[in-house]
Amino acid sequence: MALVINEEQQMLKSSTKEFLESKSPLTLMRELRDDDYNQFKEELWIEMVEMGWTALTIPEKYNGLNFGFVGLGQVLEEMGRKLTVSPIISTVLMSTSLISLSKNEILKNKLFQEIMNGSKLCTIAHEEGRHHNPELNNSLISKNDDHFILNGKKKFVIDGSISDYLIVSAKHKDEKNIALVLVDSKSDGVNLDNKVHMDSRIYSDISFENVKIDKMNFLSTDDDGSIILDKTLDITRVGLAAEMLGNIQEAFEITMNYIKEREQFGVKIASFQALQHRSALMFGEIELCKSIVLRALQAIDSNDNDLPKFASLAKAKLGLVSKLVTNEAVQMHGGIGVTDDVDIGFFLKRTRVAHRILGDSNYHLDRLAKLNNY
């Protein structure tokens, strides 16, 4: 499989780049942060909807574009370059992926239309521990007459503070199978504890206390909840890697331009051989990351059985390289690199958080070893 994007995907990448340079420069991220950590600009989200981004991976059967995850990956990469704050990851990457795998046609028709027209935002609530552990799930669903009752606590929910719907993972009492249920975030018994993290984005700890669930709100059947969730998590990991790829490319380019201008001892510091060696190492690692991310995106579109391996490879490698590149970028900027006067520190902060979401490099290196029978 050739590691290149086709003409249509390249056109999407170019149009996304042009759109974000105009509508979502780095200054917008600062504006949202200073506006009490606003999580998205509504006017910008409407324009993204009109661009068709919310429909990119939704099947044509539901009036989606069915453009594929390689296409969505190009959008996420360009958004990573601009540190764009939006519900794309939670609503489009995570939620539409999970909904697509569901067999509940009634909910699929309803949710896809609401997501595509931008009227509703959605996210997944699964994490329960301080560190990523997809096996940990103590939330419970119990039967009560003609409906169900949900109790449990979830941590680090992406865009939980702005989402209209929460897709919650839980277990039926005395059963091991995971159930996936759709919950209105305004339902009685849903309580949010919103926290701002170092990337200036809000993540929510959510408790569910005797929340009433209609039997029609199950996105899983008796035995496919874990399968749906596992694949969704891998798809999301690849999407996060694509965003991190854009992040480190922009950080690298900003840094290269800076060292070509900054003078020390009367000469440009880009002429220092030590900095040239460090820059060459970063360049080579970033080029390798491009191939890894593209291959992982292709694995999603081709329904490759090895998707778990490609997802963990992408997440592990991008985590390691993003740490290398953003550390070097800040160091090459000198003391000003850790101040709010320049943008480079924001790239470090965002990659540190993205690195931890759904497993850091250590988690995925371990997982990759196990998948390869080591």
CB 157 within 8 A of CB 166: yes
For 214-228, give one letter per residue: b (16+ CB within 10 A) or e: eeebbbbeeebbbeb
β-strands 190-196, 263-264: how paired?
unpaired
Quote the pLDDT of residue 146: 85
> pLDDT in tens for each of the 374 residues of the chain?
788 999 999 999 999 999 999 999 999 999 999 999 999 999 999 999 999 999 999 999 999 999 999 999 999 999 999 999 999 999 999 999 999 999 999 999 999 999 999 999 999 999 999 999 999 999 999 988 888 999 999 999 999 999 999 999 999 876 778 999 999 999 999 999 999 999 999 999 999 999 999 999 999 998 899 999 999 999 999 999 999 999 999 999 999 999 999 998 899 999 999 999 999 999 999 999 999 999 999 999 999 999 999 999 999 999 999 999 999 999 999 989 989 999 999 999 999 999 999 999 999 999 999 999 99
Instruction: Provide the 10 A C-beta neighbour count for residue 18.
Output: 11
Give the position of tokens 């080591």.
Answer: 374
CB 211 within 8 A of CB 151: yes
Decide if 88 contacts 23 (C-beta within 8 A).
no
Whole-number Å distance between alpha carbons of 37 and 84: 13
* Under 8 Å between Cβ of 150 and 139: yes
CATH architecture classification, 7-119:
Orthogonal Bundle (1.10)
Counting every residue, how long is the chain?
Answer: 374
Dmax (CA) for the chain in angstroms is 80
Beta strands 165-172 and 140-144, pairing class: parallel
In the CATH hierarchy, which fold is given to the domain comprising 123-217? Butyryl-CoA Dehydrogenase, subunit A; domain 2 (2.40.110)
Exposure of 63 by Cβ count < 10 A (0-12 exposed, 13-18 middle, 19+ buried)?
A: middle
Nearest Cα to Cα of residue 315 among 230, 226, 244: 244
| Number of other CB atoms surrounding residue 40 within 10 Å | 18
CATH topology of domain 225-371: Butyryl-CoA Dehydrogenase, subunit A; domain 3 (1.20.140)
Q: Domain ranges in the chain?
A: 7-119, 123-217, 225-371
Which of 248, 266, 221 is CA-nearest to residue 351? 248
| Predicted local distance difference test score (pLDDT) of residue 265 | 87
169 close to 139: Cβ distance less than 8 angstroms: yes
Which pTM value belongs to this model?
Answer: 0.97
> What pLDDT, on the 0 to 100 scale, is given for residue 173?
77
